Structure 1
Amino acid sequence: MSVDRVLKRLEEWIVVLVMSIMSLIAFANILSRGLVGYSLSFTEEITINLFVFLTFVGTAIGVRQNAHLGFTLIYDRANGVFKKGITLLVGVLMGGLFLVLVYFGLQMMLYQMELGQKTPSLGWPQWLFSLAMPLGALLCLYRTVQVTIMELREESLQGGESV
């Protein structure tokens, strides 16, 4: 089994697992409030932090499936060289964004570790939740590079060139 296939399965299982956990926690909180009149305050903390992780993994899946939003009028009307330039520019800009998120996510995480910062409700180390940002952005960066290379190859094949 290839690394890409394993990563694809991992992304999909993370989304399923995180969505399931978030749904169960939110449902338990609703039941608790409705039946007992007591709110489980820690559920909000977990749900919000899992949502951040889910957003990054979902973004990586979207990049992999080429499902991100885009305005393609200029791209669709462009010739081969201009199309390659647009593809490369978009890939570099997206890669730059994810590199910045990896860098600052790591900086934030290390700072939280240094301070020994804890989450308000659970008292867990905050950096555990903050780890979602650099890991998720790294996954997005990998998928951005992968998709950019694949699109450049496809454009070369359509244009009769070889990469």
Structure 2
Amino acid sequence: MSSKDTKPPELAPVAPAEADEPTRVPLAIEDWLTVLIMAALALITFANVLVRYFTSSSFAWTEEFSVFLMIVLALVAGSGAVARDRHIRIEYFSDSGSMARRRGLACFGALMVALLFGLIAVLSVRVVWDDYRFGETSPGIGVPQWWYSMWMPIISLAIALRAFGLFMRRLRGVVPGASE
């Protein structure tokens, strides 16, 4: 038998990605913000590398702005993860037991995330107010610090609302992916 007569083994079909649950506020908001922030980070970094390569100096603002964008990226992606119910959990506990137990744990987890980020939103308003009131400026380029810190309560509130929406969906219905 020659090697020409053998057929390659059949590959198993790839399962499509799970569809997102319907939400009142489209999940595309977080998706597009993530894409735009990642693109901005890539462009800023690439521009800084080019400038440094050709001129032996760099833009002073790129490091400060990149750190800000990475923090915003983490928060925006966290909002998408909460809305999709992809936040960290110990699956041994969350996926075992009766359907009522799984649903109760899913509701409890979503409610705790909503409370945590609601608290962060409220407390970070104080930080923004202090930055504004005391005229704090950023260390790198000297712009008002509240330009950066004002996004913390806004995005934290968005995460809290996404978590509350997840809580309401779990309270009303069956936990997705559960079979019983």
TM-score, reference length from structure 1: 0.85
Is 1:101 the counterpart of 2:120? The answer is yes
Which position in structure 2 is the counterpart of 1:131?
150
Deviations 1:52-95 (A, max 9, x none): 11111100111112222221222322223323331232122211
CA RMSD of aligned residues (A): 2.2
8 Å contact from structure 1 (residues 56, 136) kept in 2: yes
Is 1:4 the counterpart of 2:25? The answer is yes
Is 1:16 the counterpart of 2:7? The answer is no
Is 1:41 the counterpart of 2:91? The answer is no
Residue identity in the other structure for 2:104: G
Identity among equivalent positions (%) equals: 25
Q: What's the secondary structure of 1:45's corresponding residue?
A: helix
Q: What's the secondary structure of 2:48's corresponding residue?
A: helix
Give 1:1-163 correspondences, 5 Å limit: 4-5=25-26, 8-155=27-174
From the CA coordinates, give the structure whose radius of gyration is larger. 2
In structure 2, how many angstroms separate the alpha carbons of the residues matched to 1:142 and 1:122?
33
Residue identity in the other structure for 1:68: H
Shift of 1:16: 1.6
Aligned pair count reads 156
Shift of 1:3: 5.4
Runs of 4+ in structure 1 deviating by more than 6 angstroms, as ranges, are: none
Shift of 1:132: 1.8
Residue identity in the other structure for 2:148: F
Which position in structure 2 is the counterpart of 1:161?
none
8 Å contact from structure 1 (residues 52, 133) kept in 2: no
8 Å contact from structure 1 (residues 52, 132) kept in 2: no
Shift of 1:12: 2.2
| Higher share in helix | 1
Residue identity in the other structure for 1:51: M
Q: Which moved more, 1:24-33 or 1:68-77?
A: 68-77
* Structure 1: tracts of 5 or more residues without a match: 159-163
8 Å contact from structure 2 (residues 107, 170) kept in 1: no
TM-score, reference length from structure 2: 0.77
The structure-2 alpha-carbon separation of the partners of 1:88 and 1:67, relative to structure 1 and needing over 3 Å to count, comes to: closer
